[in-house]
Amino acid sequence: MTEPDLLGASGLLRDAPDWTIFTHQRTDGDAAGSASALFEAGVLAGRRVSWFTPTPLPTGYRFLAHADECRLCEGTFAFSNPETLYVFLDCANETRSVRGFEERTPGTRFLNIDHHEDNSCFAALNCVDPDSSSTAELLFRVLKAGDWKLSKAAAEALYTGIWTDSGGFSFSCTTPRTHRLAAELMELGAEPSRLDDLINKNRTPESMALWGRAMSRIRLFGPRVPGSERGVFALSWLSQQDFSETRAETGDTEGLPASLMRLQGVRLAAFLTEQKSGEVRVSFRSREGVFGAADPARALGGGGHPRAAGANHSGPLETSLREIPRMLEERYAQWSSAH
C-alpha cells in the first residue's frame, strides 16, 4: 500500500467548516481516543463538530474530552450536507459504522482515516496505513502534518488510542515511531500514570462479575506445543443471560479476548459473545506459532488485523460453541501441513 496522504487528509479537514465524526460498532479505545482528539482539534480551530456511533460509547472511555457529546445513531444517518465533511475513524469499511452510506447524497464529502490492512477504501480520500499501530497514531501524524493546534486533552486522547490498540506498547504493531510519537504526546501533557489509572483501573463490580463468568469457562484444546501440556487454542464465551444477571454492559468485554492470550502455550484465542440479535460475535487473538487471527475471521466473513480480528457467526451460541473449535482445528491441520 502507498504512503498515507497525510497532507491531503489535513487539507480536507482544513477546508471544511463542519465535521461529523463516526466511529465503529462497539467503539474501542483507539476509535474513541481518535474521535475525542479530532473533536478537540476541530473545536480549537473553530470548526462545528459532531460525533456519532452506532452502539453506546463504553463507560470506560467517558473520561475522554467530548465523550459527553458522542451521540448514539441506531437508525439510518442522512448523509446529505455538502458543507459537512464526514470523517470515518478506525472503520475498515462503511458497514462498521452507522447505516445510510449507500443512500448518501451526491456531492457529499467523506474522509476515511484507518489502519486496518483490509480497509475497503470507501471514501473520496482514504488515509490508510496498516503500518501504524493504531488509528490514533495515524491521526496524530495527520494533525502534525497540518500543524494543527493540540491541547493536553487531545494529547491524552491520542495517547489512549495508541496505548489501547498497541496493548500497552507490547503488540507486534508497536514500532520505534510509535514510541517517538507517544513521547511527543507526553511533551504535550499526556501523563502515562494518570491515563493508566483511567484506562485500566475503572472496572465496576458488574464488569468484574462478568469477567469471572468468562474466566470460569475457559477451554483449552488443539495440538500441543513444545514445553506445554495444553492445547494451542483457548476459548471462552458469554451469553445475553450473563449480561442480564451481572448487569454488565457490552463494553465491559473489552480486553477479555486478549486476556486469554496470557495462558501458557496458547497461540490463538477465540472469544464468543452472544448478541441481542441472536448472532454470535467471535473475537480472535493470536501470536506467532500459528496462523493469524485474521484467517478464521475472514473465513467467517469478518476481518481485522493479522493478530486481532473478529467476525459474526450466525449462531445460536450452542452451535457456535461446536463449530468454532472444529473450524480452528481444521484450519490448523491445513496450516501445519503447509508449514
| DSSP structural state of residue 164 | H
> Which pLDDT does position 2 carry in this prediction?
79
pLDDT of residue 227: 64
Position of cell 493479522? 306
Q: What is the pLDDT of residue 271?
A: 98
1 domain residue, yes or no: no
Task: Please give the grid coordinates belonging to residue 260.
Answer: 486469554
- Nearest CA to 322 out of 257, 268, 247, 270 is that of 270
All three cell numbers of 62, joined, read 467517558
β-strands 303-304, 308-313 pairing: antiparallel
CA distance 295 to 132: 20
Residue 83 lies in a domain: yes
What is the model's pLDDT at position 228?
66
| Together in a domain, 224 and 175 | no
143 & 282 share domain:
no
pLDDT in tens, the chain (339 residues): 579 999 999 999 999 999 999 999 889 999 999 999 999 999 999 999 999 999 999 888 999 999 999 999 998 999 999 999 999 999 999 888 999 999 999 999 999 999 998 899 999 999 999 999 999 999 999 999 999 999 999 999 999 999 999 989 988 889 999 999 999 999 999 999 999 999 988 889 999 999 999 999 999 999 887 666 788 999 999 999 999 999 998 889 988 999 999 998 999 999 999 998 889 999 999 988 889 999 999 999 988 888 888 999 997 999 999 999 999 999 999 998 887
| Number of domains forming the structure of the chain | 2
CATH number reported for the structural domain that contains residue 251 in this entry: 3.10.310.30
- Write down which residue in 180, 200, 220 finishes a domain: 200
Asked if 68 and 154 sit in the same domain, the reply is yes
DSSP-derived letter for residue 33 is: H
Which structural domain range is residue 111 located in?
6-200
Domain boundary among the residues 158, 174, 200 is at 200
Q: Are residues 216 and 267 in the same domain?
A: yes
Do 97 and 169 share a structural domain?
Answer: yes
Is 315 within a domain?
yes
- Name the domain boundary from 200, 230, 257: 200
Q: Do 240 and 328 lie in a common domain?
A: yes
The pLDDT of residue 1 is 56
The cell numbers describing 27, all together, are: 467503539
